[in-house]
Amino acid sequence: MADLVKALEYCHSQNIIHTDLKPENLLLGSGGNIIIADFGSSVDCSMVGTCMKTSTCNGYNEYWAPEMYTSCFGKEVDAWALGVLLYEFLVGKPPYQTKEETLNDCIPYPTEKNISDDAKDLISQLLENDPKKRKALNTILQHPFMLNNERS
């Protein structure tokens, strides 16, 4: 997760929103590092105040943020996808199976999985429906879940 956060921070510093983060687009490098692939759907957000329209967001994608279905979107969509990925890494599948579930505020944690309160807290901050309230990339690494699970 830390590698992903750092890679996305770099992309955003270069005004690139990936918009299509999912397991299939994450590769493992020879040194064990994560490589983000498939920038075919990425968006250049270099024009401050530009509203990215959702005209190409037809259908359903487990990793799309709610605003990709209903309105304009920005860099926050990549933070949402990180939340879906973190959930999937811990649970084994994405949290939502339909667009309607994605638009709901409830995160379905399975009772048979032991997910820490810190993990749930970080996931809930990343899967915040309001993009303005969603956890910013530059604050994720300071979250207790990330600090308590750092590689040695």
- Kindly list the catalytic residues: 20
* Cβ contact 109:83 at 8 Å: no
Cβ-contact 91, 28 below 8 angstroms: no
Question: How many other CB atoms are found less than 10 A from the CB of residue 151?
Answer: 6
Residue 110 φ/ψ, nearest 5 degrees: -70, 140
Burial readout 28-45 (b: 16 or more C-beta within 10 A, e: otherwise): eeeeeeeebeeeeeebeb
**Nearest residue to 123 (alpha-carbon basis) of 150, 96, 100, 97:** 96
